[in-house]
Chain A
Amino acid sequence: MRIAVDLNRCQGYAQCAFLAPEIFAMHGEEALLYDPEADEAQRAKLAQAAAACPVQAILVDAVDVPAEAVSGAR
C-alpha cells in the first residue's frame, strides 16, 4: 500500500502516529515521518489512521497498483 501525506495540510495532530505507529512517527514536536509503502498487514491500521486525520492529509491507494505503469510499447 502506497502512502503520501499532504504535509501542507498536516498540522501535527499525531493521530496517525498514535493509531499506526509502524507507519507514522512524529519527528520532533510537529514534523511527521512516514513509511511511503506500508506492508499489507498494516491495511486496517492505515485505514483507521487516514480516517482519523482531522485534516484528511493522508493519501492512500484507492485502486490496486495497476500493471499499466510499465515502460515500452504503446
Chain B
Amino acid sequence: MLGDGYLEQLKREGRIVVVGASLAGLRAAETLRSEGFAGSLTIIGDEPHEPYDRPPLSKQVLLGRAGADRTALPRLRSVDATWRLGVPATGLDRAARRVRLADGDEVPYDRLLIATGVRARPWPRAAEAELDGVFVLRTRDDSAALARRLDAGPQRVLVIGAGFTGSEIASACRERGLPVTVAERGAAPLVGALGGVVGAVAAELQRQHGVDLRCGVMVTALEGDTSGRVRVAHLSDGSTVEADVVIVSLGAIRNTEWLSGSGLGAGPRGIACDAGCRAFDIRGIVTDDIYAAGDVARSPHALFSYQFLSLEHWGNAVSQARIAAHNMLSESTDRLPHMEVPAFWSAQFGVNIKSVGVPSLGTEILISQGSLQDQRFVGVYGYQGRVIGAVAFDQAKWLPFYQELIETTASFPPPFDTVDRRPDGQRPIDADFPDPSVPTHGPTVTLSGYSPADRRMTFTPAH
C-alpha cells in the first residue's frame, strides 16, 4: 500500500521545488518546514531579490516614506532553502519531474509548487512603452524607478487605468502635490471591482483631491520628443494630455507561458487546480505532485457556485500557499480545502477601502451603514437573493460581520435593521457593474467557471 511510507520518506528526504519567490512562495516554504519537511527545498525566482511585500510599493514607497529596497518580507521562521534567484523557470517536464531554468539548469522535484503570480500588463505598443518616462508598477524595481522620477518633480503625471493600483498611484502623486490626469476606459474608477454606484464615490474622491479624471476614454497613443522622452498622450475623445510621466496601470497578466507544452491546465486565466491546490492537467485530471497558489492559481470555491476563482489578493496568496504546502505533505484524508473568503484592501485619498466576498459577482447593492455622500459607508452586494460581498469606505471594523453573512449565505437584502442606515440605504439598487464585454481595467477577481449566463467566458485552450 502506498501512503504512510511514501509520505514519511518524502518528508524525510524528498525534494520540493517552489517556483515563485514572492509572498506565496515564502509562506509556503515556511509552512513546509513547520509541518516537518526535512528534505531539500529549492525556491526559484525570476527577480534577483528575496521575497518582498508589494502593498507598500504603491503607497509608502511612492510617498517617499520607505525605500523600495526595504520591503523584504519578514521571515516567520527559517526555511533552510536553496535560493535560485534572478533566473526564471522556462519549462516543466512533468514526466521527468524537472523544472527547466533560463540558465540551462534543471531542478528535479518530488513535489512542485507553482506560485509564479502575475506581471503588469504592458502598454500594448512596444515602441511607445519604451519611451523614457513610461512606467508600469508591479515589482520592487518598478516602484524604485517611479519613485525616483516622482522625486524629480515631473510637470504632469498621467495614469492610464483607474483600478486599485492606478488610483493609489494617483493618490500618492496628489499627496506629493504633483498634477495628475487619470484616464479610465470605464465609467468610473474601481468600476470593474466595485460597480458604478461605488465607482461614483471613487470618482468624486479623485476630483476632490484635484485629480483631472477622465472616464469613458482610452489613451490611443503616446508620443515622445526627439530624445525619446514621453511628452503627450492622445485620447480617444480627440483631446491630448501633456505629461512627462505616464504610468500604465491596466491590470495583470498571469505568468503561465513557461508552462506551455507541459500538459498542465495552465493558460491566460491561470492554472486550474482543485480546492486543495492540486493542479489539473489539460485533460482535466488532477495531478498529485504539482500544486499552485497565489495570483496564478484558479480553483473552485464553494461559496461561489464552485466556479473557478482566481484572486490577486495578498491574503489569498498567504492562505492558499499554506494550504498547498500542508496538502503536499498530507494523506488525502488530511488535506484541507482552500475556502478563504476573498478580501482585499486599498488606501487612497485618505480613505481606507476594504472588501470581502466577491462584489463583482453582485448585481445589487444596498448601503447598509453610513452614506455614499459622506464617503464613509458599508455597501452590501446581493446576488440571486443572497449576500455575496461587501465593501467598506472607512468602516473597516464592520467587515467581519459582513463576512459572516457571506459565509453563511445570508439572504439579500439583509434582514436586519442597522444602527446607522441613512435614506440612501433603504433599499437595494442596481450595483451598476459594466457590461462584461466592455473592457475596463478589470477587477482583481476573476470568476471563470462555466455558467450559461456568463458571456465573458470563452473557451481558452491551454496552448
CA distance A3 to B315 in the complex (A): 16
Instruction: Identify which of A28, A32, A70 contacts B83 (C-beta below 8 A).
Output: A70
Does A28 contact B74, Cβ atoms closer than 8 Å? no
Does A36 contact B84, Cβ atoms closer than 8 Å? no
Chain A residue numbers with a CB within 8 Å of B75 are 2, 61-63, 65-66
Of B63-71, B254-262, B321-329, B411-419, the one contacting chain A is B63-71
B72-87 vs A: 1/0 string, CB under 8 Å? Answer: 1111111111111111
Of B239-247, B344-352, B440-448, B454-462, the one contacting chain A is B344-352
Give the interface size bracket for A toward B: 20 to 34
Does A36 contact B56, Cβ atoms closer than 8 Å? yes
Chain B residue numbers with a CB within 8 Å of A60 are 74
In the complex with contacts A28-B394, A30-B394, A31-B350, A2-B73 CB distance below 8 A: yes
In the complex with contacts A4-B73, A36-B66, A37-B72, A29-B394 CB distance below 8 A: yes
Q: Would you give the shortest CB distance from A11 to chain B, in whole angstroms? A: 5
Chain A residue numbers with a CB within 8 Å of B71 are 36-37
Q: Does B409 contact A (CB under 8 A)?
A: no
Of B47-55, B119-127, B179-187, the one contacting chain A is B47-55
Q: Does B343 contact A (CB under 8 A)?
A: yes
Q: Would you give the shortest CB distance from A52 to chain B, in whole angstroms? A: 17
B177-202 vs A: 1/0 string, CB under 8 Å? Answer: 00000000000000000000000000
Give the interface size bracket for B toward A: 35 or more
Chain B residue numbers with a CB within 8 Å of A27 are 347, 350
A47-74 vs B: 1/0 string, CB under 8 Å? Answer: 0000000000001111101101111101
Chain A residue numbers with a CB within 8 Å of B85 are 69-72
Does A35 contact B74, Cβ atoms closer than 8 Å? no
Chain B residue numbers with a CB within 8 Å of A61 are 74-76
Of all chain A residues, the one with the shortest Cβ separation from B395 is A30
A5-20 vs B: 1/0 string, CB under 8 Å? Answer: 0111011100000000
Instruction: Identify which of B53, B81, B318, B352 contacts A31 (C-beta below 8 A).
Output: B352
Of all chain B residues, the one with the shortest Cβ separation from A69 is B50
**Which B residues are within 8 Å of any A CB, using their own CB?**
42, 48, 50, 53, 55-56, 59-60, 63, 65-67, 70-87, 107, 314-315, 318, 343-345, 347, 349-352, 354, 394, 396-397
